[in-house]
Amino acid sequence: MARPREFDEEIVLDKAVQCFWNQGYEATSIRDLINETGLTGASLYNAFGDKRALYQRALDHYVNCSVAQRIQSCDALPPREAIDAFFADIIQRSLSDPQHKGCMLVNAALELAPHDPEFQEIVAGVLKQIERFFFEHLSAGQANGSIGKSMPPDILAKHLLGVLMGVRVLARVRPEPELLKGIVAPALALLDASGTP
């Protein structure tokens, strides 16, 4: 009969996220994860498998607690306000992180996805989810007149996704309010209803 786990999986995943997020996948050792989570090596392997499997669980946990929650909270707002709130939250998080870790998903896109097809698929899936969030709110905003029709919603959604990625990467090396807000402001200006042809 299997023994019940003597640890809170959510807490362990939170700690694993912080460890991988601070150091990256390659630089994080099993010893780092043991020290951070407080689990023994055997418990870590029994519960999560190898380092790669734990990283995947940690990345899923990060996406559920960060990206998915942001989308869910913004979904409750009117279309234009939802997009504004999404970027306001991104800028606030980027500027309030003293370690300038950036976005764990973007970090995974840069570190693992180029040479790991499984992680490439995982990251691409989440980015498509974010693009779909933009597309749905852009479409709704253009339909109700709160967002201009200067460009089709699918093109604008792709542009906003690119702006988001740029902000998250630049925030790691130049976490300057003027820079990040200056990147986002022209993209949001494209959405102004007055820009309707």
Tell me, yes or no, whether 53 lies in a domain. Answer: no
Looking at residue 4, what is its pLDDT? 45
pTM, two decimals, is: 0.90
Model confidence over 149-164: pLDDT tens digits? 999 999 999 999 999 9
- Ranges of beta strands (E only) in the chain are none
Model confidence over 85-143: pLDDT tens digits? 999 999 999 999 999 998 999 999 999 988 999 999 999 999 999 999 999 999 999 99
Tell me, yes or no, whether 29 lies in a domain. Answer: no
Looking at residue 8, what is its pLDDT? 85
For residues 148 and 130, give the distance between their C-alpha atoms in angstroms, rounded to a whole number: 20
Residue 73 domain boundaries: 60-192
Tell me, yes or no, whether 100 lies in a domain. Answer: yes
How big is the CA angle at 107 (ends 132 and 8), to the nearest 5 degrees? 90
For residues 135 and 149, give the distance between their C-alpha atoms in angstroms, rounded to a whole number: 13
Tell me, yes or no, whether 174 lies in a domain. Answer: yes
For residues 104 and 86, give the distance between their C-alpha atoms in angstroms, rounded to a whole number: 17
Tell me, yes or no, whether 110 lies in a domain. Answer: yes
Tell me, yes or no, whether 66 lies in a domain. Answer: yes
The two tokens of residue 89 are 């939250």
The residue ranking higher by pLDDT, 113 or 2, is 113
The number of folded domains in the chain is: 1
Tell me, yes or no, whether 13 lies in a domain. Answer: no
165: pLDDT strictly greater than 70: yes
Looking at residue 5, what is its pLDDT? 56
* Average model confidence (pLDDT) across the chain: 92
For residues 134 and 153, give the distance between their C-alpha atoms in angstroms, rounded to a whole number: 8
Looking at residue 196, what is its pLDDT? 43
170: pLDDT strictly greater than 90: yes
Tell me, yes or no, whether 151 lies in a domain. Answer: yes
High-pLDDT (> 90) share of the chain, %: 85
In this structure, the number of other CB atoms found within 10 A of the CB of residue 119 comes to: 20
Q: What CATH number has the domain bearing residue 180?
A: 1.10.357.10
End-to-end CA distance of the chain: 69
